Structure 1
Amino acid sequence: MILVTGGLGFIGSHTVRPLLDLGEGCVLVQRRTGEVPAEFAGAQVTVERADITDLTALLDVGTRHKITGIVHLAGSMPWPPGSDEPIDGARKAIGSLFNVIEAAEAWGVPRVGVASTIGVYAGLTGAGPLREDMPVPLTAPHPIPSFKKIGELLADHLTGATGIEIVNYRISAIWGPRGRPADPFFPAPQLVHAATRGTAPDLSSLRFPAYADDAIDLCYVKDCGRAIALLQLADRLNHRTYNVASGRATTNAEVIAAIEKVVPDAGIDLPTGGSGQRNYLDITRIQQDTGYRPDYDTERAAADYIAWLRAGNER
C-alpha cells in the first residue's frame, strides 16, 4: 500500500488514480476527514484521519496497513501566512517532514517522494530549460520555495543517513480540477473559471499583474499526478530530484486561445507585454527514468477543465 499524505487534495487525488491504475492500493492520510470519497468507492483505498505533525498518530497508521511507499504531498509550511505563530508554524512544517521519514524508517519503506516546487528556480535568469542540476539561489522570494529548499537539503542529508531513497518532485505550475480557483502565481485557473461562469476574470489575487505574453511551465494536474505515480513505482531511479512538468513554456495568450476554442464568447483580454521570460522545466530525467510524457496539451487541458466545471464542480 502506498501512503499518500494530502491524498484527498488537489495534486494528491490526481496521484491516487494512476497509482490505482498501476495496481497499487493507497492509504490516504488526512487531518480532517476519514471518509473515502465517492470517486474511489470500490477501489483499494483507505482514508486514515491523522495529523502528520503528530508522530504517534502517524506511526499508528502503520499498525493497520502494510505501507510499502510514501508520497508526501501534504503542505509543508503554514498556509496561509499568519495561520500559525511563526516559530511554531516553522516547527510544524519541518517536523512533519521528519515525521514522514521517521515513519518510513520504522515501516521499512524503501522510497519516499516529497513535493517541492518550480519556485526553487526563482532568481535564475535567461530563457530556456531549467534543469535539476542547476545551482539554485539560497534565497527565495516567498515562504513556499523557502521551505521547499530546506526540505530538499534535509532530504539529501536524510537519504544518506537513513538509506531511504528520498525523491524530490520539483512541481511546475499546476492547473485543473480541484485546484484553487484563484492562484497567486499564474492566472490560468481564474481565466477558466471566469469563462465558464461568463464573467470577467478577477485577477486581484495575483502577486504580479498578468500580461498576455507572460509564460510559465503550465502542467495539467492529471499529467502531474501520473508523473508522480510513475516516479514512486519505477523499478530504478538514477537521481534524487526530478522536474514534474510539461516541459514547455505556455503563454497566457495560448491559455486564452484554448479557452476560446470551447467558450468562443469568453471575451478574455490581457494587456500585451510582460517579462518576456520563456523558462520551462527540463523533463529529460523523468522521461528517461519512467517513460513519462504529458498527455494534455493546452487545448485538451482547457477543454477537460471546463467540462469538469460545467458538470457542476467548483474545485
Structure 2
Amino acid sequence: MILITGGLGFIGTHTTRTLLDLGESCLLVQRRPAVVPERFAGEAVVVEQADLTDESALLELGKRHEITGIVHLAGSMPWPPGAYEPLEGADKALRSLLNVFRAAGEWQVARVGVASTIGVYGGVTGQVAGEGALKEDVPLPMTAGHPIPAFKKIGELLGDHLAGTMGLDVVNYRIGAIWGPLGHAASPFFPAPQLVHAAARGTEPDLSTLRGGGRLGDGIDLCYAEDCGRAIALLQVAGRLGHRTYNVASGRLTTNEEVVAAIRKLVPDARADLPEGRDPAPAFWLDTTRLREDTGFEPAYDTERAVAGYLAWLRAGNER
C-alpha cells in the first residue's frame, strides 16, 4: 500500500488515480475528517485523518496498514504566508517532513517520494547561457525569493542527507507548471487556467492576479495534471532509479499563443485576447531526459488535447 500525503489534493488525486490503474492500493492522509471521495468509491483506497506534525498519529497508521511506499505531496512549508509566527511556521513545516522520514524508516518502505518545485530554479537564469532546458544537475543558488522554493530546497537537502544516513531510497520531484482538472482556476504565474475557465463560461478572463507572463509570446513548461500524476506514479513504482532528483514536467515550452489557438479551435468566439510580445528575459523549460529514460514516461497531452480535456471537464459542471 502506498501512503500519499495530500492524496486528495490537486496533484495527489491524479497521482492516486494512476497508482490505482497500475494495480497499487493507496492510503490517503489528510487533516480533515476521513471520507473516501465518490471518485474513488469501491476502489483500493483508504482515507485516514492525521496531522503530519503529530509523530505518534502518523506512526499509528503503520500499525493498521502495510505501507510499502510514501509519496509526500502535502505542503512542507509555513503556508499561507503570515498564518504562523516565523519560528512556529518553520517548525511545523520541518517537523512534518521529518516525521515522514521517521515513518519511512520505521516501516522500512521501498521508496519515499517528496514533492519539490520548478521554483527551486529561480535565480539560475544568470548562470545559463541563452534559452533552453534546465537539467537537474544545474547548480542552484542558496537563496529564494518565496517561502515555497526556500522550503523545497531545504527539503531536498534534508532528503539527500537522510537517504545516505538512514539508507532510504528518496526521490525528489521538481514539479513544473501543472494545470487541469481540480487545479486552481487562476494562476499567478501563467494565464492558461484563467483563459480556459473563461472560455468555458463565455466570459472575459480575469488576469488581475497574474504577476507576469501574460503576453502571447510568453511561455512556461505547462504539464497537464494527468501527465503529472502519471509521472509521479511511475517514479514511485519504477525499479532501481539512477537519480535522486527528477524534473516532472512536459519537457517543452508552451507559449500563451499556443494555448489561445487551442482554445479558439474549440471556442471560436472565446475572449482570449492577450497583448503581443513577450518578456525580454530568457525563457526556460525543464529537461525531462532522466524521467523519460528511467520510467518510460512520455506526455499524453499536447496543448490541444489538454485544452479539450479541461474544457470538457468544466462543461460537465465540475469546478475545483
State the TM-score bracket (shorter-chain normalisation): over 0.9
Residue 199 of structure 1 pairs with residue 206 of structure 2? no
Matching residue of 1:254: 258
User: What code does the residue aligned with 2:24 have?
Assistant: E
Cα distance in 2 for residues equivalent to 1:47 and 1:21: 18
- Please, which runs of 5 or more residues in structure 2 have no aligned partner? none
The letter of the residue matching 1:267 is: R
Aligned counterpart, 1:121: 121
Query: Which residue of structure 1 lines up, in the alignment, with residue 300 of structure 2?
Result: 295
- The CA deviation string for residues 202-257 of structure 1, in whole angstroms up to 9 with x for no partner, is 11222236111111000000000000000000011000000000000001111111
1:242 aligned onto 2:246: yes
Query: Aligned equivalents of 1:172 and 1:148: distance in 2?
Result: 13
Aligned counterparts, 1:264-303, within 5 A: 264-276=268-280, 277-303=282-308
Whether the 8 Å contact between 2:162 and 2:168 is mirrored in structure 1 is yes
One-letter code of the match for 1:169? Y
Amino acid in the other structure paired with 2:303: T
TM-score with structure 1 length normalisation? Answer: 0.98
Whether 1:187 aligns to 2:183 is no
Aligned to 1:6: 6
TM-score by length of 2: 0.96
1:38 equivalent in structure 2: 38
Deviation at residue 124 of structure 1 after TM alignment? 2.0
Q: Is the 8 A contact 2:203 2:271 kept in 1?
A: no
What SS is found at the alignment partner of 1:62?
helix
Distance in structure 2 (CA, Å) of the matches to 1:176 and 1:252: 15
What is the root-mean-square deviation in Å for CA atoms of aligned residues?
1.0
Answer whether contact 2:199 2:270 (CA < 8 A) is retained: yes
Which deviates more from structure 2 when the two are superposed, residues 146-155 or residues 119-128? 119-128
Q: 1: distance between equivalents of 2:151 and 2:60?
A: 27
| Contact in 1 for aligned 2:19/2:25 (Cα 8 Å) | yes
Equivalent-residue separation in structure 1 for 2:169 and 2:272 (angstroms): 46
Distance of 1:263 and 1:84 partners within structure 2: 44
CA distance in 2, matches of 1:171, 1:218: 10
Secondary structure of 2:64's aligned partner: coil
Q: Which residue of 1 aligns with 2:73?
A: 73
Runs (4+) of structure 1 moved beyond 4 Å? none
Q: 2:112 matched to which residue of 1?
A: 112
C-alpha displacement at 1:272, in angstroms? Answer: 1.5
Of 290, 309, 317, the residue aligned with 1:304 is 309
CA drift at 1:274: 2.4
Are 1:314 and 2:319 matched, yes or no? yes
Question: How many aligned positions are there?
Answer: 315
Q: Is residue 57 of structure 2 the alignment partner of residue 53 of structure 1?
A: no
